[in-house]
Amino acid sequence: MQGMMLVLAFITTALLSAVCGLAPAFVERRSVRTRDLGWVAGLWAAIWVFCLCAYHRPGLAEGFDAFRLIAITAMCGWAGVCIAALRAFGRRGLRFVVPVLLVAALGAEVFVGNVAYFNTHSYQPFQLMDYLDPNVNVGRGTGTYTLDEDRSYLRFLEIDQPIYNLHIDGLVNDDTDPLHADSALFFKIEATDEANSELNTFGTWQVGTQAPRTHTISLDLTGNVGTLTLTASGYSSTYAQYPVAVTMTGITANTPRAMNFSLLRCVAVFLALLAVYGLRPASGLWKRRWLAGNVCDRGVALVLGAVMAAFVIVVPFWQPGNTGLATEHYNTAYWDGESTV
């Protein structure tokens, strides 16, 4: 069944690529040229190269179902329509190009910005705490597990199945210090898999208690996992130390990621595409002498320069931790309690 779905996906994407690649020739009422065929082949190849990268865990053909068929076909249709529209109407001005760029930004947000959603849709989740070593010293409540400075180690035995990602369920910060409300901790990940018979380190997992996106991490393990250990340590810097003090309800392995449509990211992509179109070599912006023009042209140039200068000044102070400044009123988490700066 999976093989049939994969073959069907090859056929449908090839047909869509052919239609979208040859469409500009029919719109412009001309004969098909070699470059049209090049667009057909390029679009089809680009879609499948992207899919090979996007579905690398556990693999493109693994778990290839109707949902993946529809997703890949829809992505091919979106990319093909955008490319065909730009080729056919790209020289007719903004009123034709802006709608195409808007569709391109929306599709990029859905298919590229949420690639993890499509990649993990076929995952079969399981609770990792079911494999927790009973001899591990960890705080155990009614459906909860507590880690602190004296109990910071988790070991899971005889898992014997693949693990593609981990997600912490119901994470709660137990640190009562007001300055540690947004604390962070690190998990050192070690595991044995089909390529490593002894515990091997697979990186560090940084978790922010108030940052839900950090509660999930993707892993690059080979085949079935035998033993997995997580060793927690608190975040520490020159002026701030956060102890290990958290409670969780569990750790889910192979959790499907949710669709996360970001309007801000979509708008940013749209503006970036619009800027690329406006700054292309054939654009009139390159041919216009702004500073030598009328008052309006000079005003636009001055405003643009002021915006760029403001970014240079404002961006370093946007995130307090990046400024290098800390006082009793500003960036207090990094203040040593004595120095004026």
pLDDT band at residue 280 under the 50/70/90 scheme? confident
Task: Compute CA distances 322 → 180, 318, 341, whole Å.
Answer: 19, 8, 14
Indicate where the chain has its CATH 2.60.120 domain(s): 126-253
Say if residues 265 and 107 touch (Cβ distance below 8 Å).
no
Examine the pLDDT at 15 and tell me if it is beyond 80: yes
Would you state the structure tokens that stand for residue 200, as one six-digit string? 């091997």
Instruction: Give residue 33's Cα distance to chain centre.
Output: 38
**CATH classification of 126-253 is 2.60.40, yes or no?**
no
Amino acid occupying residue 241: Q
Q: How far is the first Cα of the chain from the last one, in angstroms, to the nearest whole number?
A: 66
pTM of the shown model: 0.74
The alpha-helical segments, DSSP class H, found in the chain are 2-27, 34-54, 66-89, 94-107, 115-120, 263-278, 295-318
User: How much is the pLDDT for 81?
Assistant: 94
Least confident span in 144-158, 207-221, 315-329? 315-329
Contacts of 133 (CB under 8 A, 6+ apart): 155, 156, 157
pLDDT band at residue 99 under the 50/70/90 scheme? very high
**Rounded Cα distance, 133 and 136, in Å:** 6
Angle (CA) 276-278-284 rounded to 5° is 140
Task: Compute CA distances 111 → 10, 48, 51, 122, 212, whole Å.
Answer: 18, 13, 11, 16, 21
pLDDT band at residue 310 under the 50/70/90 scheme? confident
Return the number of other C-beta atoms located less than 10 Å from residue 179's C-beta. Answer: 12
H helix and E strand count, the chain? 7, 12
Mean pLDDT, range 117-129, rounded to an integer: 90
**Rounded Cα distance, 158 and 320, in Å:** 45
Examine the pLDDT at 190 and tell me if it is beyond 90: yes
Examine the pLDDT at 338 and tell me if it is beyond 80: no
Examine the pLDDT at 277 and tell me if it is beyond 90: no
pLDDT band at residue 49 under the 50/70/90 scheme? very high
Quick: pLDDT tens for 137-179.
888 888 899 998 888 899 999 999 999 999 999 999 888 777 7
Examine the pLDDT at 340 and tell me if it is beyond 60: no
Examine the pLDDT at 234 and tell me if it is beyond 80: yes
Mean pLDDT, range 54-67, rounded to an integer: 81
Task: Compute CA distances 295 → 283, 290, 300, whole Å.
Answer: 21, 9, 9
Q: Which helix (H) or strand (E) holds 193?
A: strand 184-193
Examine the pLDDT at 262 and tell me if it is beyond 60: yes
User: How much is the pLDDT for 80?
Assistant: 94
